[in-house]
Chain A
């Protein structure tokens, strides 16, 4: 009954529905407005959208809730795009870290502005104005002070310890929010009488590691897994059962049926009908209890009057 509807291409719109912390849009401290910035995503190495607010003091990440078949009614307008953007605070160190790892190969103490440089994303230097950036550099790098100048060198060991703390804090946040970390699917609206006893510490750790890995490169994520002493999950391939193969036996094969009766003279031999590939495969299927296709087209006993 429904007619085929054609989807018109998405039109760029100039408004969005955003949920943001008050601090993100607070313009009192500085006269600069918060701005969306494209920066290098540490996981994908490609561009992602972030937000810097009140004179680059705070960094926020931007996530979009996106599902099919959603639209907004905004005031007296309809917005086709049913996305909901979330602007949430983020630790700038995650974005600075990849630059340090890169320069770490040189094994030199360097001033910060020489490390955090990116031709593709020049805005990355603005990360250094964030309140927490310089103060927390010692989590991922060794520090040296020469005169009034500070120099840093990437330290994997320090970084792992820092990330481990992040994981531990995430675990406690997961527990506080009662987030399901186990294998099964649970409904948040379903009230359980029995308390959760099947949630193991390892499930929480692994889940938190996965979440933190959303902000790390793949190599770092693997290193962190080792540091947390979590075994790597076996790939699903290995858990699969071996493919079935017919067992061969040395015994002689005997005929289950006597075909010689067809050889008698009175047996009228019909030429075998040719079957298409589809018919052949269908003939192998168990069709007991199924209606034939043609039965659906036979006239009904009485057609219903509309």
Chain B
């Protein structure tokens, strides 16, 4: 797996893929989808697909691919080598969603949650396989959110393909296990050799598993908190672990879409009470009391100053 396309810019989403085996273009194929790194506060989330002709399912099973969580890192690496070597009939692709992509999606003005991001990434990968000419007839997916709804969504998007969405699909279907191995291997390699684009000098690489519950991860997050900027792009800002730390230790930053309520906020935003519109006198009196700045200036947010 050549990670260099991702490492040149690890702030964006990146797709890495094997060559498409010739048989996959002619024979009916099955495809498995799984993800790695959904929960950690550090590093990317990786989506993987693996596909092979339906007739080659027994061979895939014989290679003893299993749910990536039950395997050691070394076993996963070995199994990935096996999959990669069987390039005559097995193809794979991974989509690396950088932590920065996850942060900016979830924290943007119109919120784009992790489930939606996951679904769209999975859909994108299936579409990639179809666009590359893989003759898909069966798709197996490990679920995100309610399985039935997800299955319905995918079936509608890909008519003519039999979609199976199951929880724990990675231990039920070898093709999903294979996909999970591709995803997990990609994530492990990216996290291990993470290129910090920030100028941090010598970075302490001992950040543990990256899961919020890991004390090592927590200690690392505390150490690398910048009061103004927060964290390097390696951290998912949208995770509550990161947010809580930034709220308590960092400088307060206000955005104009922050939820603020109460009278103070209304006053600050210059909102008038609903009642003010119904009383006739209130508006008239105000205008005489203070000079009203011409709209040329108010429209341009320009004010006179009396002190600096």
Contacts and interface: CB of A to CB of B under 8 A. Distances in A.
B204 interface: no
Nearest to A80: B251
A285 B111 CA distance: 34
A43 interface: yes
A68 B146 contact: no
Given A8-B252, A69-B254, A235 B284 contact: yes
A237 B279 CA distance: 12
Contact of A304 (B146, B247, B260, B308): B146
A67 B284 contact: no
A211 B293 CA distance: 9
Given A43-B291, A207-B296, A69 B305 contact: no
A210 B259 CA distance: 37
Interface in A128-144: none
A65 B296 contact: no
B70 interface: no
B109 interface: no
B259 A2 contact: yes
Contact of B297 (A47, A68, A207, A214): A214
B308 A44 contact: no
Nearest to B228: A78
B8 interface: no
With most chain A CB atoms within 10 A of its CB, the pick from B115, B252, B255, B296 is B296
Interface residues of B, number: 33
Interface residues of A, number: 45
Task: Give the secondary structure class of A's interface.
Answer: loop
B85 interface: no
A162 interface: no
Nearest to B251: A78
Contacts of A218: 291
A293 B35 CA distance: 39
B258 interface: yes
Given A5-B252, A78-B228, A64 B303 contact: yes
B293 A65 contact: no
A49 B303 CA distance: 11
B301 A48 contact: no
Contacts of A46: 306
A305 B167 CA distance: 11
Nearest to B167: A305
Interface string A35-53: 0101001011011110000
B300 A65 contact: yes
Nearest to A43: B291
Contact of B280 (A61, A62, A237, A304): A237
B304 A62 contact: yes
A270 interface: no
Contacts of A159: none
B98 to A, nearest CB: 22
Given A67-B301, A235-B284, A237-B280, A5 B258 contact: yes
Given A210-B294, A213-B294, A237-B284, A65 B304 contact: no
A63 B254 contact: no
Interface in A59-78: 61-69, 78
Nearest to B269: A68
Contact of B296 (A2, A61, A211, A305): A211
Contacts of B228: 78
A63 B303 contact: yes
A69 B256 contact: yes
A7 interface: yes
A64 B305 contact: yes
Contacts of A214: 293-294, 296-297
A228 B280 CA distance: 31
B146 A86 contact: no
A5 B254 contact: yes
Nearest to A217: B291
A265 to B, nearest CB: 48
Contacts of A210: 294-296
Contacts of B272: none
Contacts of B243: 3
B296 A302 contact: no
Contacts of A43: 291
Interface in B245-283: 247, 252, 254-256, 258-260, 268-269, 280, 283
A296 to B, nearest CB: 19
Interface string A4-15: 111110000000
Given A48-B304, A68-B256, A63 B146 contact: no
B306 A48 contact: yes
B256 A65 contact: no
Interface in B54-101: none
Contacts of A7: 252, 254
A49 B304 contact: yes
Contacts of A86: 302
A305 B307 contact: no
B252 A44 contact: no
A86 B145 CA distance: 54
Nearest to B240: A1
Nearest to A15: B308
Contacts of B303: 63-64, 66
- Return the 4 tightest CB-CB contacts between A and B, nearest first: A49-B305, A69-B256, A210-B294, A2-B259
9 contacts: A3-B247, A43-B291, A48-B306, A49-B305, A66-B302, A68-B254, A214-B296, A237-B284, A306-B115
Given A2-B258, A46-B306, 13 more contacts: A1-B259, A5-B247, A7-B252, A36-B308, A41-B304, A47-B306, A49-B308, A66-B303, A68-B256, A68-B268, A78-B228, A214-B293, A236-B283
